[in-house]
Amino acid sequence: MSSTATQRAEAVAETVARIRTIEKEQGVNRASLDAMRAELESLARKKELFPRSDFPAADLRDDVFIRLSEDDDNRFALYLNSGLPGKASSPHNHTTWAVIAGIEGSEHNKIYRRIDDSSEPGRARVEVEREVSVGVGESLAFMPEDIHSIHVLTETPILHLHMYGKGLEQLTERVYFDMEKGTCQLFPSVPIVR
């Protein structure tokens, strides 16, 4: 293991431990997510720990998440994600808390609110509430029920950290929303995780 990889592994382990403690002591709420954001931002600012040479562009396809850490019980999962230019996701929730922090480039997020009463299965209306770009050293956090979409508007791939309360493969109840059709359904697939 290279010196950079060793330093990265140590920094990741320390960050995840602090985030685990925040959740244990404060639960999952907006205030605790803000504290988690600060921890993930601090890790993302250590760009030297995430050199492109360790994560070649050829390995970073559109829907690949590289697992940096995940507890044995599939909790506290941290991934490196590279969004390719033009990447866009449908509005979706996570069913667990999530924090995104930028290492390189800017990821544009649209945050939605649901405007129907959720009474009709498979039907949903959402509208954009606000838009936030997550750049270098910046972050954004989501409660389990929050809805967002991701858009890579840059001309080069971005590198971002994505941390979830549960590993992506465990999120089998995620819902995505089709604004045009006014529908919602289970997310069709889990991103490729390596």
> Residue 194: pLDDT above 80?
no
Identify the pLDDT of residue 187: 82
More confident residue, 83 or 51: 51
d(CA 63, CA 82): 8
d(CA 148, CA 113): 9
d(CA 18, CA 180): 41
Identify the pLDDT of residue 59: 55
> Residue 61: pLDDT above 70?
no
Q: What is the pLDDT of residues 153-193, one digit of tens each?
A: 888 888 999 999 999 999 999 999 999 999 999 987 666 67
Identify the pLDDT of residue 155: 87
Residue (of 160, 53, 52, 35) closest to 97 by Cα position: 35
Domains, the chain, in order of start with CATH, read: 4-186 (2.60.120.10)
Identify the pLDDT of residue 108: 96
> Residue 103: pLDDT above 90?
yes
User: Please, what is the average pLDDT of the chain?
Assistant: 92
Taking the CB of residue 23, how many other CB atoms lie within 10 A of it?
18
Length of the chain: 194
> Residue 18: pLDDT above 80?
yes
Residue (of 84, 93, 99) closest to 148 by Cα position: 93
Distances (CA, A) of 66 to 56, 86, 100, 115: 12, 20, 14, 34
